[in-house]
Amino acid sequence: MKLLVGLGNPGGKYVGTRHNIGFAVIERFAERHRINLKKKGYQGIYGVGRAAGVETTLLQPQTFMNLSGASVNAAFQSLGVDPGDLIVVYDDLDLPFGALRLRPGGGHGGHNGIRDICSVLGRKDFVRLRFGIGKPVHGNTTGHVLGRFSTDEMTYLGELIETAVDAVEAVLTGDVQTAMNRFNKNLLDSF
């Protein structure tokens, strides 16, 4: 069993914001693999199915970003997955828009959702897929992460989300290092 988590904030006002890119990637993954994301549990919305031949639980925590650890831990403990079988997808200010970075572990990098997950789980050795959203032009970080993608960004967003789903599939069916070699780049360079 793999546990695939997309981070974001619940509620209609956050749909389509940069901070909810984890939710968007999970939703597209669910569509591609026909996994119904409608069950309520683990303090979130989840679905279970086979993705790329692997039994996978998809989870969107409903605890708000900064308290994601409670939801992730509930699923992690209940499902009994190994740390290497937990994959968390989230936004990253430190990466330019269009960049993806897979990592098999590490620190929180200032991301409050990841900080909370590490704290509640008591470990850092889970797989992360960071989706670059870039830094704000005028320094308003909160406004940037809770804002919507620009018109220019929207031109590429669908394809970037598809590539993020491809990256998750590569982790599910292979190893993280091989997936890192393939997907850790700025995707806009190839458009």
Choosing from 19, 33, 111, 144, the catalytic residue is: 19
pLDDT at 168 (0 to 100): 97
Band of residue 188 on the pLDDT scale cut at 50, 70, 90: confident
For range 31-57, the mean pLDDT = 96
Contact yes or no for 153/165 (Cβ under 8 A):
no
Percentage of the chain beyond pLDDT 70 is 99
Could you give the number of structural domains in the chain?
1
Q: Express each pLDDT in 51-83 by its tens digit.
A: 989 999 999 999 999 999 999 999 999 999 999
Per DSSP, the chain holds a count of helices (H) and strands (E) of 6, 8
Calculate the alpha carbon distances from 93 to 98, 117, 139, 158, 181 in Å.
11, 18, 11, 19, 22
Q: Which range of residues forms the domain containing residue 78?
A: 2-190
> Which residues, other chains included, contact 124 with Cβ-Cβ below 8 Å and sequence gap of 6+?
105, 106, 107, 108, 118
Q: Does position 140 have pLDDT exceeding 80, yes or no?
A: yes
CATH number of the domain bearing residue 63: 3.40.50.1470
Q: Regarding beta strands 86-92 and 2-6, do their DSSP bridges make them parallel or antiparallel, or are they unpaired?
A: parallel
Q: Does position 124 have pLDDT exceeding 70, yes or no?
A: yes
Band of residue 174 on the pLDDT scale cut at 50, 70, 90: confident
**143, amino acid identity:** G
Q: State the DSSP code for 26.
A: H
For range 100-121, the mean pLDDT = 94
Q: Does position 23 have pLDDT exceeding 70, yes or no?
A: yes
* Residue 19: active-site member: yes
